[in-house]
């Protein structure tokens, strides 16, 4: 889809998607890195919200509210909800959590929409590795009401195995029955950027493509 190609270009231009020689927190060497902390301007968050909204709108059937887990999910869910209304005239409730519940003022752990029994939720996140935020979010939401968490939106699926030969996306599906919809996968990135110039530079040449394919061969989930 066009928005996916535009999103990949946007990540490169924003310095979020970079290529080289990196080491992840798990100790793995990787030829590319996604650092969503490099989104830092009003233009970035506006465009990011629109890209998320383009993906979200195709999977909103029977979804009653959007939820953004602290911390990175907070600006994402707000930007996505705003873009859904601005771009598609879709008015949907949203909420996000505090790391620590308040016992004064409005109190509680959630800010925004208050989930109701029978609601279906969609989680808005950036990228997932161990799936920790999702594993924390599901019991939090279910503790508020009899909520069904149906889906998860992330920016990039690295399609890599975790500790048990399953990716974080597969683990979340196995444990919670949550379907993950990435804006793009690493395969989309390779296909779109191979031998293509961004700002006058080819970021995935033959050498980088081979390095990324070798990385997937070693750590990929075979999809």
Mapped onto helix, strand or coil, the DSSP state of residue 69 is coil
Residues 6+ apart with CB under 8 A from 25: 129
Both structure tokens of 188: 């989309």
Determine phi and psi for 89, rounding to 5 degrees.
55, 35
Task: List strand residue ranges (DSSP E) for the chain, in order.
Answer: 17-23, 29-34, 65-68, 94-102, 108-112, 120-124, 148-157, 179-185, 197-198, 201-202
Residue with tokens 């999977």, as numbered in its chain: 59
- Catalytic-labelled residue, pool 72, 102, 166, 209: 102
Distance CA(39)–CA(156), nearest Å, equals 15
Listing from the earlier edge strand, what are the strands of the sheet with 94-102? 108-112, 94-102, 65-68, 120-124, 148-157, 179-185
User: In Å, what is the CA distance from 7 to each residue of 18, 52, 169, 188?
Assistant: 14, 9, 20, 11
User: Is 104 an active-site residue?
Assistant: yes
Provide the annotated active-site residues. 102, 104
């Amino acid at each position: 889809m066009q928005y996916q190609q535009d999103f990949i270009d946007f990540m490169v231009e924003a310095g979020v998607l970079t290529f080289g020689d990196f080491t992840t927190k798990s100790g793995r060497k990787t030829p590319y890195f996604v650092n969503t902390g490099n989104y830092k301007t009003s233009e970035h968050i506006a465009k990011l919200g629109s890209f998320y909204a383009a993906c979200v709108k195709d999977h909103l059937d029977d979804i009653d509210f959007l939820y953004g887990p602290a911390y990175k999910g907070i600006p994402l869910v707000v930007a996505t909800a705003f873009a859904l209304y601005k771009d598609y005239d879709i008015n949907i409730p949203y909420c996000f959590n505090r790391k620590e519940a308040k016992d004064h003022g409005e109190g509680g752990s959630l800010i925004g929409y208050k989930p109701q029994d029978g609601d279906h939720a969609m989680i808005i996140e950036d990228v997932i590795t161990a799936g920790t935020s999702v594993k924390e979010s599901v019991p939090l939401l279910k503790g508020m009401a009899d909520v069904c968490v149906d889906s998860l939106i992330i920016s990039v699926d690295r399609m890599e195995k975790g500790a048990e030969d399953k990716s974080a996306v597969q683990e979340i599906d196995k444990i919670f029955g949550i379907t993950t919809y990435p804006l793009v996968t690493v395969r989309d990135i390779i296909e779109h950027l191979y031998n293509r110039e961004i700002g006058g530079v080819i970021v995935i040449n033959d050498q980088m493509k081979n390095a990324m394919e070798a990385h997937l061969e070693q750590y990929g989930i075979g999809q």
